[in-house]
Amino acid sequence: MDKLIVTGGKRLEGTVPISGAKNAALTLIPCALLTEEPVTLRNLPRLADIDGFQHLMTQFGVAHSIAGRRPEDFGRVVTLEATRITNTVAPYDLVRKMRASILVLGPMLARMGEATVSLPGGCAIGNRPIDLHLEALKAIGAEIELAQGYVKAHAPDGGLPGGDYDFPIVSVGATENVIMAAALANGTSKLGNVAREPEIVDLCNMLVAMGAEIEGIGSSDLVIHGQKTLNGCTYSVMPDRIEAGSYACAAAITGGEVFLQNARPDDMNATSHALRNAGVTVEYEKKGIRICADRPLNAVNLTTAPYPGLATDMQAQMMAMLCLAKGTSVLTETIFENRYMHVPELARMGANIEVSGRTAVVHGVDRLSGADVMATDLRASMSLVIAGLAAEGETQVRRLYHLDRGYERLEEKLALVGAQVERVGD
């Protein structure tokens, strides 16, 4: 199994190209199930999760072709064709490794009138039930039962009728699933208290490009007028705001200056606000965001929240950065109850962090030291890399399969800005 060797003490300086967003791409890919026509996605990141999802789509009879196979390219252009769906079952062996697999449920149900999907897996960061997915789909007409670890969904004869649903709490995945299903329903669906993440907006914009009729895009209330059929389209995946935020934290902890090429300022206001409060200069430019850390970092208090709040996917990276801030920072995690598994690993590097329930108190230290550490989930793995970039000596990060799920060619991008990072066999 590979490991990443990070030699700390290098000031990051230069340009990092930001890839297409993993969280958006995993929602856009299943849109291909909604149409018989080809769907082409540009700026699709090269990630293990993307490859896994495409393999799942192949099980349904979806053909795909890849353009631009040059190894030096970041991102790909992939065309998906679901002309004829041959299978409506998403098996356990494929779904267990990736929670996003549940997103085939809505579009498959809407188009084929049935879908059987294994209960999903993914990062072990807390309890993430799919109750809201199922309740929302029931509200627009689905009949659902759970049996032997599978969700078995059926639409009435003639298809989903559409309906109304107000989410009791904000859920990104459930919002995505029901939007896709409602786009191909027979009637109008009104959805309240929906998630407003940029990835949701990206999904809605792609569906509109496919012929969907959606009102209220970007707001907490959506009205979706179901269409009899949807057409294919060509669509570019939005830049990854979490990847951009991760490299911003890496630049900040090393006292560096990095230009995040293609990052979209409007998607990153909460992250930018947190960085500025920590003493980092954040400048919005025409083609990206410039990060400059030319003075010591300040301690800050941060709370994760649904968009437009600070993304839970940025908590671990922010924590790593704040390990070297002057003073005491307090981080509160409101989304997942088990998302501090990186804390013991950061402590191995000399961090001083106390955890009580969903609150972590980070006492800034003067230095971190390289150590052997183990990634516990995707964003936790990046936090260890960030800490390693500023630590004295060498840090070895194990379980790289977590990183490969969400960061396209990480070591190559870090090398572009002067980091000393090497992937080696264990």
**Calpha distance 106→115 (Å, rounded):** 8
Residue 283 is which amino acid? E
Instruction: Confirm or deny that 105 is annotated as ligand binding.
Output: no
pLDDT bin (cut points 50, 70, 90) of residue 300 is: very high
List, in order, residues 6 or more apart from 73 with CB less than 8 Å away. Answer: none
Query: Is 216 exposed, middle or buried (CB count within 10 Å of its CB: 0-12, 13-18, 19+)?
Result: middle
Is residue 335 a known part of a binding site?
Answer: yes
Query: Which architecture, in CATH terms, is 2-16+240-425?
Result: Alpha-beta prism (3.65)
Q: Residue 313: how many CB atoms within 10 A of its CB?
A: 23
Q: Three-state SS for 209?
A: helix
Residue that has been written with the tokens 């003067």 in this structure:
366
Instruction: For residue range 356-401, list pLDDT tens digits in order.
Output: 999 999 999 999 999 999 998 999 999 999 999 999 999 999 999 8
pLDDT tens column, 203-234: 999 999 999 999 999 999 999 999 999 999 99
Query: Mind listing the pLDDT tens digit for each residue in 149-200?
Result: 899 999 999 999 999 999 999 999 999 999 999 999 999 999 999 999 999 9
Are the CB atoms for 44 and 50 separated by under 8 Å?
A: yes
128 annotated ligand binder: yes
Are 113 and 155 within 8 A, CB to CB? yes
> Distance of alpha carbon 90 from its chain centroid, rounded?
21
Confidence of residue 70 (pLDDT cuts 50, 70, 90): low
| CATH fourth-level superfamily of 24-236 | Enolpyruvate transferase domain (3.65.10.10)
Residue 301: CA count within 13 A, CB half-sphere? 2
Question: pTM for the full model?
Answer: 0.95
Query: Which residues in the chain are classed under CATH 3.65.10.10?
Result: 2-16+240-425, 24-236
Q: Which structure tokens are listed for 166?
A: 């107000």
| Other CB atoms within 10 Å distance of the CB of residue 259 | 21
CA angle centred on 29, ends 27 and 34, rounded to 5°: 95
99 is in an annotated binding site: yes
Q: Cβ(195)–Cβ(178) under 8 Å?
A: no
Q: Which long-range contacts (CB under 8 A, 24 or more apart) does 406-410 make?
A: 406/22, 406/47, 406/49, 406/242, 406/243, 406/378, 406/379, 406/382, 407/47, 407/243, 407/246, 407/382, 408/19, 408/45, 408/46, 408/47, 408/74, 408/75, 408/243, 409/46, 409/74, 410/4, 410/385
Phi, psi (degrees; rounded to nearest 5) at 253: -70, -25
Amino acid (1-letter code) at residue 202: D
Q: Is 22 labeled as ligand-binding?
A: yes
Residue 3 confidence class, pLDDT cut points 50, 70, 90: very high
Catalytic residue numbers read: 123
140 marked as binding residue: no
Q: What is the widest separation between alpha-carbon atoms in the chain?
A: 66
How far CA 24 is from CA of 31, 113, 212, 225, 366, in Å, comes to 11, 25, 18, 22, 38
Query: What one-character DSSP code corresponds to residue 183?
Result: H
Q: What is the SS3 assignment for 65? A: strand
Any known ligand binding at 130?
yes
131 among annotated binding-site residues: yes
Q: Residue 421 region, left (φ>0) first, then alpha (ψ -120 to 50), else beta?
A: beta
In tens, the pLDDT along 73-109 reads 678 999 999 999 999 999 988 887 777 889 999 999 9
Predicted local distance difference test score (pLDDT) of residue 126: 41
Cα 211 to Cα 213: distance, rounded to the nearest angstrom:
7
Burial 367-385 (b: 16+ CB within 10 A, else e): ebbbbebbbbbbbbbbbbb
pLDDT value, residue 69: 58
